[in-house]
Chain A
Amino acid sequence: MAKTFKGRVVAPGSCKAPALVSHGGFNTLASFQSALMFGGKEAKCGDQNNPDCYEKAMGGTALCLPETIGSTTGGMVLYAAVAAGKNPACMLFSKPIDSLAASGAILAANFLEQKMPVVDKLGQEFLDYVRDGMMITVDEEGNVTVE
């Protein structure tokens, strides 16, 4: 059964993609640093400290997470991932977005043609409900439908 959650739009856009869920903080640099340099668009997660995502493809997924953590290269790494087409199709935050992820989303929205919709404040219920592989639809208003 489909369930819809309402969040706040940080970077506008719409998409439909399978979910990849990180229940803990998502370390952007640790996750993307190898994937950016090596391998294809699937961008396998390189963060050995994240059992939810380690070695799973991040590219083209609806990345569901509480927040990002770690290095302040985070926003720049997201920006580079979007430019390289190795980014998640969208990023969906249960909590209010953190400063690094917000930077990456806003920089990409303002300086790149490729878009990566970002929605935050979806709530813990969203993160508890969503599972890897569930199909997620995001609209321009910040409505996130999980099925």
Chain B
Amino acid sequence: MILNEEQQALLDGKQGEMMAKVMKTLVMYGEAFGAERMVPVTSEYGHSVISFGLSVMDPVMDLFDRLIEAGAVCKQKISADPVPMAKNVPSNPVLDLVFKKFMYNRQKRIESQLKKFGMLEDNAFTCACYLPEIGNVPKRGDVLSWAESSAVVYANSVLGAKCNRNSGIIEIFGSVVGYVPEFGFLTEDGRKADWIVEIKTTKKPEAQILGSAVGMKVLEEVPYIVGLDKWIGTELTPETVAYLKDFGAATASNGSVGLYHIDNLTPEAKEQGMGLLRENVKTYVIDDAELQRIQDGYPCIWKDKDAKPKLCFMGCPHMTYEQLVEWTVRVEAALKAAGNSKVLVPTVFTTAPAIEEKFAASEYAARLKATGIVVSHICPLMYMNNPLAKKMPVITSSNKLRTYTSARFYNDDRILSIITKEGK
């Protein structure tokens, strides 16, 4: 890799041993992918996937302490993933004890470190940092040093920014030195599509299941999706933003998609169309039967498959403001139709702190509260990440949460029915 004078000086230790090791790591990372140079990070803000103070993450936090002590903090402000605990989420004394004393007993430490690295706002903890209420919205063509699979795939695909699927720690390193190695999605060739995915369903495919199907099929490759604009339109409306957020998160967690193109919708597809396709592109046809096959293949690891759900999580990734409003209206109507006044399964809608505040100030907050549903900025994935929660029958319409936890997946309509009418 050819480095410029400033980069070479960093590598040679002119700014200390830690900065040299950080630079060495980024250079090795780039060389593993044939990068020939480092390019400046041009986005205003970074985003870190690290936000949870687990004791097993002590080696990571020890490394961060060494960086901070050496003055190696971020050159840009950052947002970070959601926090693992919040007061208003249904819990019990045992679970609280497990969370505070045994699992997330380093939470203050990691939040303090992130603050020292340079948080955008004290409450900028969300996986959906790219939503306008949070303010970390990269411009088209910006080079990012982000991690968080759902945020990276959204930034690349919907916003036209350039970011590789960086790991936690690496994203901080890029923000510290202000450079990232140029490879993969930072190059024109890396943004070409390997797959053409033809949508031939008879109705609008659910984002969470469609994303899962695409992710499982293409894994790390780039899909170009045709026929979806028929169902979700050709403009970025709030509804489309929410759809693409959930679709992308499912592609990234069920596979490792970092970039997708949607014919007539996403910016590069609008400009280049089929010109984005590689030669010898592979084809994947998705119809109703294929989506059903995918959903039927999800394992349920509950000990008692017929257990009554004890909790429902929606919002992984965090819900948009418009999703909160839409679901408030849907839940109200479904409860009324079922002759119930409150949800039959304790339910949590998760969203970014800034959206939580905006929603709380709206007329819908009291209406949603009246249904018994709680709004929280917690990370449901981190909530579920322990043996007690693993044994708990939790349901969700999030494919990401399904992938990483014992939560059982149902589509949106079924979730609505379970929480408002069936109760089981």
Residues of A near any B CB (own CB < 8 A): 10, 25, 27, 29-30, 33-34, 36-38, 48-49, 67-77, 79-80, 83-84, 96-100, 102-104, 106-107, 109-112
B152 contacts across to A, CB distance below 8 A: 72
Specify which chain A residues have a CB less than 8 angstroms from the CB of B403 in the assembled complex: 27, 30, 49, 70
Determine if A102 and B149 form an interchain contact, defined as CB atoms under 8 angstroms apart. Answer: no
Task: Report the Cα distance A67→B24, complex, angstroms.
Answer: 24
CB distance from A19 to the nearest CB of B (A): 22
Are B32 and A97 in contact (CB-based, < 8 A)?
A: yes
B169 lies within 8 A of A76 (CB): yes
A-B contacts besides A25-B255, A37-B103, 19 pairs, CB < 8 Å? A25-B219, A27-B403, A34-B387, A34-B390, A49-B299, A69-B220, A69-B256, A70-B252, A72-B147, A72-B148, A72-B165, A75-B170, A76-B169, A80-B57, A97-B32, A99-B33, A103-B166, A109-B28, A110-B21
Establish whether residues A98 and B256, one from each chain, have CB atoms under 8 Å apart when the complex forms: yes
Which B residues are CB-close (under 8 A) to A68? 256
Give Cα distance in the complex from A108 to B265, angstroms. 41
Bound-state CA distance A122–B184 (Å) is 21
- When distances are taken between beta carbons in the complex, the residues of chain A under 8 Å from B406 are 48
Q: Restricting to B4-46, which residues have a CB under 8 Å from any CB of A?
A: 21, 24-25, 28-29, 32-33
B285 at the interface (CB under 8 A from A): no
24 A-B pairs with C-beta separation under 8 A: A25-B256, A33-B404, A34-B390, A37-B54, A48-B299, A48-B301, A49-B299, A71-B149, A71-B404, A72-B152, A72-B165, A72-B167, A73-B49, A73-B50, A73-B168, A74-B167, A75-B169, A76-B169, A83-B59, A96-B33, A100-B256, A102-B33, A103-B29, A106-B32
Interface residues in B369-396 by Cβ distance below 8 A to A read: 385-387, 390
Distance to closest chain B CB from A60 (angstroms): 18
Chain B, range 145-178, C-beta contacts under 8 Å to A: 147-149, 152, 164-171
